[in-house]
Amino acid sequence: MQRAMQAAYLPGNSTVELRTVPVPVPSHGEVLLRIKASTICGSDIRAIYHEHLGKGPEGYQGVIAGHEPCGQIVEVGPGCRRFNVGDRVIVYHISGCGVCNDCRRGYMISCTSQKYRRAYGWQRDGAMAGYMLAEEKDLIALPDQLSYADGAQVACGFGTVYEGIEKIGISGDHSVLITGLGPVGLAAAAIARKLGAQKIIGIDVVEERLKLAKDMGLCDETLASGADNVSQIKDLTGGFGVERAVECSANAAARATAVRATRKWGRIVFIGEGGGVQLNPSPDLIHDQKTIYGSWVTSTWLMEELTERLVRWGLHPADIVTHRFALSQVSDAYALMASGKCGKVAVCFDEELQATSAEGMNRK
């Protein structure tokens, strides 16, 4: 096997730096993955690409970028207990201490150990490289029916959405509002559809995203973001508003819309990160008996459950990948994602890079 690889770093001035670095060697409890697909997240753009804004869990420590890894195990370190060379795996993108209360619940995202909590692509080397080290405890088996690009979406976007949707519960009883139709919002629409939702309404400011959501059949109605959104949504739902809302934009006005366009007894989940919102608790929540949930990423067990559901539903998260790039073109990949004029953007290797035309997407 080659012992040097290309790897992408984000210096924080809206550029990407490719460096040649050694291929790492797995130590105890670790595996070496051949990366097959590594997708770019909104959080990479928000907190690292333009500027290193993040603190704590979002503090970027100059490591190899990329926190949505999916690949194949090519080396197994000593002490591994389950996975073997050749296994196809997704990586839960935060490696936790394993022994705090949050880790024991499977929510390594909120691991409380300052010393041992390290997110791939933030505080430890990530997936924008030919190879990546991962701890065995962070691995989720990728079912044969899912592609590596599917798996990379499970790692962050679809897992995050699945968690939020499980909290509010969505079924065929519900009309659903999704505010923000980036990759996370599109994932929310795709899962809500599989859970039976018949009327899915999406809002965004970017015209390309509204069109994408409609063209892919993920939203039944799309609305350009604006001051009339609440009354428009009420008109579309018999005057009552939706039963469920999934807020993916982090925009203050969209958050208020998500709450106010939800009917009495309805449930709203806030997933989009950053920013603020102004609400009037009595009319917006208390008098209408509404509940707002907050939801941060997901747990290892729910992520594992999601992979099984995706197969059962015949849902391929890679359908929201609109563009694939080789690692040599990683700069273009980040620039496109930063423009917002796309679905999900993936850096791919080997067979996954060839898969472009096989996809249902690339419809514009």
Residues lying near Zn ion in the complex (CB under 5 A): 41, 96-97, 100, 103, 111, 113, 156
Q: Which is nearer to Zn ion, 112 or 354 (CB)?
A: 112
Q: Which is nearer to Zn ion, 55 or 364 (CB)?
A: 55
Q: Which is nearer to Zn ion, 41 or 70 (CB)?
A: 41
Q: Which is nearer to Zn ion, 111 or 292 (CB)?
A: 111
Cβ burial 278-310 (10 Å sphere, 16+ → b, else e):
eeeeeebbeebebebbebebbbbebbbbbbeeb
* Closest residue to Zn ion: CB criterion: 41
In the complex, the smallest distance separating the C-beta of residue 234 from Zn ion, rounded to whole angstroms, is 33
In the complex, the smallest distance separating the C-beta of residue 67 from Zn ion, rounded to whole angstroms, is 5
Q: In angstroms, rounded to a whole number, what is the distance separating the alpha carbons of residues 9 and 3?
A: 19
Q: Which is nearer to Zn ion, 111 or 218 (CB)?
A: 111
In the complex, the smallest distance separating the C-beta of residue 359 from Zn ion, rounded to whole angstroms, is 20
Residue type present at position 90? I
What string of DSSP letters covers 117-169? -EEBTTTB--SSBSEEEEEGGGEEEPPTTS-HHHHHHIIIIIHHHHHHHHHH-
Q: Which is nearer to Zn ion, 103 or 212 (CB)?
A: 103
In the complex, the smallest distance separating the C-beta of residue 39 from Zn ion, rounded to whole angstroms, is 8
In the complex, the smallest distance separating the C-beta of residue 299 from Zn ion, rounded to whole angstroms, is 12
In the complex, the smallest distance separating the C-beta of residue 102 from Zn ion, rounded to whole angstroms, is 6
Q: Please count the CA atoms within 13 angstroms of the CA of 135 that sit on its side-chain side.
A: 16
In the complex, the smallest distance separating the C-beta of residue 363 from Zn ion, rounded to whole angstroms, is 24
Q: Which is nearer to Zn ion, 185 or 241 (CB)?
A: 185
| Paired tokens of 169 | 């519960």
Q: Which is nearer to Zn ion, 138 or 166 (CB)?
A: 138
Q: CB under 8 Å to 14, separation ≥6 — which residues?
A: 49, 50, 335, 338
Q: Please count the CA atoms within 13 angstroms of the CA of 340 that sit on its side-chain side.
A: 14
Asked if 201 contacts 178 with a C-beta cutoff of 8 angstroms, the reply is yes
Q: How far is CA 283 from CA 144, 233, 256, 260, in A?
A: 49, 18, 12, 9
In the complex, the smallest distance separating the C-beta of residue 139 from Zn ion, rounded to whole angstroms, is 17
Instruction: Give, to the nearest 10 degrees, the angle between helix 207-215 and helix 183-194.
Output: 20
What string of DSSP letters covers 191-235? HHHHTT-SEEEEEES-HHHHHHHHHTT--SEEEE-STTHHHHHHH
The residues that bridge with 131 in the sheet, in sequence order, are 34
